[in-house]
Each structure stands twice: as structure tokens, then as C-alpha cells.
Amino acid sequence: MPLTTAKSTGTTTSTAPAAGVRGAALDLDAVTIKFGDFTAVDSVDVSVRAGEFICLLGPSGCGKSTLISAIAGFEKPANGRIHLEGQEIRGASLDVGMVFQSSEALFDWLTIRQNIEYGPKMRGVAKKERQALADEFLSLVGLAHCADQLPRQLSGGMRQRAQIARVLANEPRVVLMDEPFGALDAQTRQVMQQELDRIWRTSGCTVIFVTHDIDEAIVLADRILVMTAGPEATIKSSYDVDIPRPRDEAGDEAIALHRKLREDIGAEVRKALQGQGLTQEGS
Amino acid sequence: MTLAETKPAPARPASDKSRRRGQKPNMTGSLRRGGLFIVSIVLGLVVWQLVASHFGPALVASPSETWQGAADLWADGTLWQSIWASSRRIFIGWALGVVVGAPLGLLMGRITIVREILDPYIEFFRFIPPIAFVTLAIIWFGIGESSKIVLIFYTSVFVVIINTISGAVSTDETKLRAAASLGASKSQILRTIVLPSAIPHIVTGARLAMGNSFLTIVSAEIVAAQEGLGALIWTSRNYGHIDWVFVGIIVLGALGFLFDRVLRVCVRPLRRYGVKV
């Protein structure tokens, strides 16, 4: 509790959403993704409301990343369709932004500011507007003081914030996040979760967030979708999370939900481990 | 109290030691390196002198004869003219090789059709040494500058292409995806992601190409060259001027060393692209 109140995120949420950034609804209809004969994801049906924050939760290697790669347009579903506000997604699009787990996704030879300006520059936004956009999102993620540094000069948490700013500066309607805090230490991760919660409420875009961390999902999500262990992974169950924000993962409701999710996901983790030739005994 | 007093006491001798260790080896290190360089040169000259006096001036020019030859060639302007002519050919041919090779390598690395069409020719010609083309180059491009420049270009372009391809192929997949989802088109990705990622490989290719150019300049100047270090070596042999041959060879080596150093300084601003020099 003291941690979240100290952040005083209340003031930022009351301000109007950033200009032009709005969530879009997303419909996945019997989406199946194959690599040759291998079926990674098997007929997933999900409807995401505009502005909703979804967490995809599941054991490592279950196909969560594959599924959002398809939403980003990097993989083509073998069957089924993905619609964004009624438009079918075919290939990468400006409406869908992606924050990658690895900060290798940043362009090392460009400064943080240049990284953030990359998207607007590619679509021909004038220099002055680009700078204004970069300034806005640099301060949103709290990186204004290192705008002119190269990614390698920043810490892991700062690099991930830079990635988030770069995606948001492009004003996408859906932001996909593939375990963006997976490589961070526990403390940094907790601060980043609170920051993301604040940024998401400011921007108002739809978020699909992949994680295998139950607490992370509880702190962030409107709705948690649990996936089965791959191959042929699909959505196993769905949990609405209506704990008021900003959330405390040590609160009573959160702990109760954690217990339910752990039981639900435990079966899948055991299946996944068996799939990898390991058996869990005596626990 | 006792703690506070005892603390600085052991610190002093330690810092004294570290100062002795920190400064002296640095000075002696560079002195020793400089000294060893001089020893190496002197030893080389001694061996050269011994070999020269054993075989006689008809076969091996001694260091002093070579020095005298260099002074004569310098005095009548031949040496400078030769250095200038060869440097110019190397620079133009090499630069063309890089300017043509790098974009071709990028396209071949990223576009399958381009690679499949050009690959057989690259793989064929890169095994044929430029000396095999000397006669043809003169027939096709005349006895002027262009035949020499074409040969230097030929020897540079393949090594640049092959290195650039390996850079373009190894572009980080995450960066390509990130750029695509940020709205970059195929050609924008090639220019803003693939090119910057390939720069370290292009620089390596350019340095190897520079070495190739020096290997090729002498054969390029065998036939019908009035000036140049290669021409100097060949004509001096015809006149029986062994000392001038020696001058040509030594200057060629020194020039190559110099060119590489200059190139390394020139690519220093590319460090943010991951170029290590």
C-alpha cells in the first residue's frame, strides 16, 4: 500500500488521454498457428474490448508469444482470422505496436530520442511535430533526462521504458507486450508494473500483455486468460479482475486470486514439464 | 578511536605500492615497446646487410645502396610520381569497389531473387585472380588509367560483397520486426535497419579489399604502365637496378600500412554502429 500511494498516480490519470491514442477492439476467431506440421496454437477464440488490458498467462513455451506474433502480423495464422475493429490483420500495421522482451529491439546506433522518433519519421511526420511527440513520450516514461544517450548507456528498466515510449509515439490502438519485464530484477519489475499501469491509463489503448508471472498479471490485467501447455495451446480459462487500481499484489483479493490462478496453471505447468521430459514428484 | 586511527595506517603503504605499480609499468611498457621496435628494425637491417654482402649487389641491394637509390629516385621526382600514381589507382578502384559492393551485398543479403541470380557469378569470379585478367583489361580498357582501376575494382568488389552479405543476413530479427511494426516499408528497413547493422561487416570487407588492392597493383602495372610503384619495380628489373626494385617493394609495404591506419581513423565515427578499430 505505501508503495503505491507514494507514487501518487491519481493526478496523472485525471488528465485527458494523450491526443489521438485510443484503444481498438480485437477479435480472434478460431486462430490456429502452425510451423510446418507442428501446431503451436490451436483454435483460439478471444474478444478484446477497446481499451481493455488483457494478460495472457501460461507456462513457458506454451505459445503465448506465437499468438501475439500473429496479432502483430509477424506470423500468418494457418486457420482462423484476426480482426481489428472489423478489419482483418494481414501483416504488420501501424495500429498494432509491439514491445519485445529483449531490448535488442531498440536500434543501438540511434539515441533514445531518435528511437522514439523512428516510427513518426518513417511515416513522414515533419521534424517539429516529431520532436514534440518525442518530448511528450519521453516525459511520459520519465526518460527526458537521457534523451540523447544510446540504448547501451541505459539500464535494463530504462531501455524497456524507451521501448514503450517508442511504441506509444507511433500512436497505436493496440499495444502487444511480450514479457517486457521478464529480464528485469524483481524490484525494477515492480516499479515498471506500476509505471505501465499509469501509462496505460493515460494512453487508453488496448493492451495484450504476455507473462508467466501470476502476480504481474494480477497487478495489471482487467482480464487474465490462462493458456494450456503447448503444443496445440489454447485458452483454458478466463478471469475478470475487478480489484481497484493501483493494485497491491499483497492485498486480500489479490492473494485469493493468486491461489486460484496457481491451481489452474499448476496443472498446465506439470504438463509442460512432462513434455520436456521432467516429472515433478513429492510436492 | 582505535579503529579510526588504525585504518589510514595500512592504507598508506598500499597506495604507495599501487602508485609504484600503476605508473612505472606504463612508462616502461611504452618505452619497452618502442625499444623493441628499434631493436627489431636494427636486427632486420643487420640481417639484410649480411645477406647483401654474401650475395653481392647483382642479386641483393644492401640497405645503404637502397637508401641511395631511394634518394636518387626522390631527387628526380620518380619516387613521388610513382607513389602518387599507385595511390590514386588504388584509392579510386577500391572506393568504387566499396560503393558498388556494399549496396549489392545488402540487396543480395535481403532479397532472395537478387541473391539467387547473382550468387553463381560471385562464387565463380571470386576464385579467379586479377592477374588472369591483366591482358583482357588492357585489350578492353586500353593502356590508360581505366584498365588499372578496373583491376583494382575487380579485386575489391567481391570481398566487400561477401562481407556485406554476411552482415545483412545476420541482421537481428527482433529489430526487423520492430521496424516493420513501427511502420517502416521494405526499402526503409533496408536503409535504416539492415545497412546500419551491416556497417561493421562492410568495414571489415573494405579493409580486406584494401589489402587485396595492394596485392593487385603490381600485376596491374606489369604491362603498359609508365608510372606507379608496380611499374617502377618492373622497369627497374629490366634495367638491372636491383636497388630500385627494393625501394619499390619497401615503399609499397609502408604505403599499405599507412592506408590501413588512415582507414582505421576514418571509420572511428562509425563506432556507434559497433565498429571496433
Distance in Å, alpha carbon of B198 to nearest chain A alpha carbon: 12
> Which residue from A74, A93, A109 is facing B273, i.e. has the nearest CB?
A109
Q: Does some domain include residue B116?
A: yes
Same domain, B29 and B133: no
How many Cβ atoms are within 10 Å of B182's Cβ, its own excluded?
27
Digit-by-digit pLDDT tens for chain B (277 residues) are 334 433 444 434 444 444 444 455 567 788 888 889 899 999 999 999 999 999 988 888 889 889 999 999 999 988 999 999 999 999 999 999 999 999 999 999 999 999 999 999 998 998 899 989 988 988 899 888 899 999 999 999 999 999 999 999 999 999 999 999 999 999 999 999 999 999 999 999 999 999 999 999 988 887 777 889 999 998 888 888 888 999 999 999 999 999 999 999 999 999 889 888 7
pLDDT at A169 over 60: yes
Same domain, B126 and B238: yes
Same domain, B83 and B138: yes
Same domain, B52 and B72: no
Domain C-terminal end among B38, B57, B76: B57
Which positions ≥6 away from A20 have C-beta within 8 Å? Answer: A171
Q: Does some domain include residue B17?
A: no
Mean pLDDT across chain A, nearest whole number?
83
DSSP code at position B223: S
pLDDT at A180 over 50: yes
Same domain, B52 and B122: no
Same domain, B175 and B122: yes
Cis preceding linkage at B129, omega within 30:
no
Same domain, B194 and B254: yes
pLDDT at position B48, please? 92
pLDDT at A112 over 80: yes
pLDDT at position A129, please? 92
Q: What distance separates the 2 farthest-apart alpha carbons in chain B?
A: 93
Q: Does some domain include residue B2?
A: no
DSSP code at position A224: E
Q: Does some domain include residue B228?
A: yes
Same domain, B42 and B148: no
Same domain, B90 and B176: yes
Find, among B113, B118, B111, B106, the residue nearest to B165 by Cα: B106
Instruction: Specify the number of domains making up chain B.
Output: 2
| Cell matching residue A112 | 533514445
Interchain pair A72, B273: CB under 8 A = no
pLDDT at position A281, please? 52
Q: Which residues of B touch A105 (CB under 8 A)?
A: 174-175, 177-178
| Cell matching residue B54 | 654474401
- For residue B47, the enclosing domain spans 25-57
Q: Does some domain include residue B210?
A: yes
Q: What's the pLDDT tens digit per position in A225-282?
A: 988 886 788 888 888 888 888 888 888 888 888 888 888 888 777 777 777 777 655 4
Same domain, B52 and B135: no
> Which residue from B175, B185, B188 is facing A107, i.e. has the nearest CB?
B175
| Cell matching residue A240 | 475478470
Interchain pair A72, B177: CB under 8 A = yes
Q: Does some domain include residue B12?
A: no
Residue A106 backbone class (left: φ over 0; alpha: ψ -120 to 50; beta: rest) = beta
Interchain pair A118, B272: CB under 8 A = no
Q: What is the DSSP string of B30-60?
A: HHHHHHHHHHHHHHHHHHHHHHHHHH-TTT-
Chain A residue at shortest CA distance from B187? A122
Same domain, B239 and B111: yes
Chain A residue at shortest CA distance from B274? A109
pLDDT at position A166, please? 94
pLDDT at A5 over 70: no
How many Cβ atoms are within 10 Å of B2's Cβ, its own excluded?
6
pLDDT at position A273, please? 77
Which single residue is written with the C-alpha cell 595511390? Answer: B87
> Which residue from A104, A105, A122 is facing B183, i.e. has the nearest CB?
A122
C-alpha B241/C-alpha B65 separation (Å) is: 10
Which single residue is written with the C-alpha cell 494450456? Answer: A228
Q: Lowest mean pLDDT of A11-15, A26-30, B40-44, name the range.
A: A11-15
Domain C-terminal end among B34, B57, B80: B57
- Residues of B90-126 as b/e, b for ≥16 C-beta within 10 angstroms? bebbbbbbbeebbebbbbbbbeeeebeebeeebeeee
Q: What is the mean pLDDT of residues A136-161?
A: 91
C-alpha A70/C-alpha A99 separation (Å) is: 14
Q: Which residues of B touch A119 (CB under 8 A)?
A: 182-183
Interchain pair A98, B178: CB under 8 A = yes
Same domain, B187 and B141: yes
Q: Does some domain include residue B224?
A: yes
Q: What's the pLDDT tens digit per position in A186-211?
A: 888 888 888 888 888 888 899 999 99
CATH number at residue B164: 1.10.3720.10
pLDDT at position A107, please? 96
Q: What's the pLDDT tens digit per position in A36-80?
A: 888 888 888 888 888 899 999 888 777 888 889 999 999 888 888
pLDDT at position A3, please? 35
Q: Does some domain include residue B16?
A: no
pLDDT at position B24, please? 54
pLDDT at position B173, please? 93
Residue in B171, B173, B181, B201 to test binding to A, most A beta-carbons within 10 Å: B181
